[in-house]
Homo-oligomer: A and B are copies of this chain.
Amino acid sequence: MTTDSPHIQRLKQAGCRLTQARLTVLAVLEAEHGHITSADVLDGVERVNPAIGRASVFRTLDLFTQLGIIRPTYIDTSLTPTYVMMRDGHHHHVICTECKRFFEFDDCGMEALTRNLEETLDIRISGHLLEFYGLCAACQT
């Protein structure tokens, strides 16, 4: 008996069916380590299973976003979102504004601020995205 991934558990918990489209999109996202444009998700799914329609891919990306599994952000072009995986509800990276390369990091020390905001604003916080912008070593002329 295998243990389901946290994301699959999230789907079940939300009462969603584990369909081919959803499982395939999830596999594609994880194969790219969770930094991938919608266009590349479309291509990836097409390659793995051409029977899956574009509409289902978009519907799945919307669903995953709603469930907090992924989060769209503007990185490459403004025409296609880049989705990042939200492991345990959060994600942190530095993006080079020149070459668009990104660098993920884990520790963000956001626990205290999170609790502080929950009390101050009376909000139940489920996750966060922290994005730094700058010039990477190679792009600093």
Contacts and interface: CB of A to CB of B under 8 A. Distances in A.
Interface residues of A, number: 41
A72 B131 CA distance: 12
Contacts of A123: 94, 96, 103, 132, 134-137
A82 to B, nearest CB: 10
B117 A109 contact: no
What is the total number of copies of this protein in its complex? 2
Interface in A95-123: 96-97, 103, 105, 108-109, 112-114, 117-118, 120-123
A1 interface: no
A72 to B, nearest CB: 4
B109 A124 contact: no
Interface in A77-95: 78, 81, 89, 94
Interface of A: 62, 66, 68, 71-74, 78, 81, 89, 94, 96-97, 103, 105, 108-109, 112-114, 117-118, 120-137, 140
